[in-house]
Chains A and B, each alone.
Chain A
Amino acid sequence: KNQVEQSPQSLIILEGKNCTLQCNYTVSPFSNLRWYKQDTGRGPVSLTIMTFSENTKSNGRYTATLDADTKQSSLHITASQLSDSASYICVVSAENSGYALNFGKGTSLLVTP
């Protein structure tokens, strides 16, 4: 069964600090992995999308890594800001899966002053 597990479930950090969110998956055969940011009460917004051949991709202060061998991904946030407070969702798709995506439950991040 294709699954996506995210950890931690929630995280609190001080403004200016760095943090790393984890995503482990069992989706096979792997097609791509995406990270989304979802502010409370709003729709998710894409941060990065990585295919099998990519192991790092950055979007400003957000850097995603992918290890397709161990089926793990991480999202590193540098110099956090209050506006980074949100839920971060990992989404993995399988080849030839049509319109099916596998969503993680998300990590809720709170950045405090």
Chain B
Amino acid sequence: DGGITQSPKYLFRKEGQNVTLSCEQNLNHDAMYWYRQDPGQGLRLIYYSQIVNDFQKGDIAEGYSVSREKKESFPLTVTSAQKNPTAFYLCASSIGGANTGELFFGEGSRLTVL
């Protein structure tokens, strides 16, 4: 079945370590996104990519990095520069722009910093 796969589901990290969250989609969507979700807050955009080898910063990109080497894949690296990385991370994709096309989400990855 088509969809978005995020891994791992749960991840624990020590302070000072970088971690990479995987996001793979087989929907043939051009656009992919990473959002961060914290309790009591709306989703916030970290990075998005419209096409392969291109990506743009969202509202809270500091301390994060991404790559888009393949249409299907959009991994997110949470670096040691991110001061408060504990959160639920959601990957999404859409056919066109997020403001007009339907957004499809993965199941999320929960990162906890110990």
Contacts and interface: CB of A to CB of B under 8 A. Distances in A.
Contact of B90 (A44, A49, A93, A101): A44
A95 B99 CA distance: 7
Nearest to A93: B99
Interface residues of B, number: 29
Contacts, number: 65
B95 interface: no
Contacts of A44: 90, 105
B103 A99 contact: no
B18 interface: no
B40 interface: yes
Contacts of A32: 99-100
Nearest to A92: B99
A103 to B, nearest CB: 3
A4 B42 CA distance: 9
A43 B105 contact: yes
Interface in A1-55: 4, 31-32, 34, 41-46, 49
A31 B98 CA distance: 11
B110 interface: yes
B33 A99 contact: yes
Interface of A: 4, 31-32, 34, 41-46, 49, 89, 91, 93-95, 97-106
18 contacts: A4-B42, A32-B100, A34-B103, A41-B88, A42-B108, A43-B4, A44-B105, A45-B105, A46-B102, A93-B100, A94-B99, A100-B45, A100-B98, A101-B98, A102-B42, A105-B40, A105-B41, A106-B42
Interface of B: 4, 6, 31, 33, 40-45, 48, 50, 56, 58, 88, 90, 92, 97-100, 102-108, 110
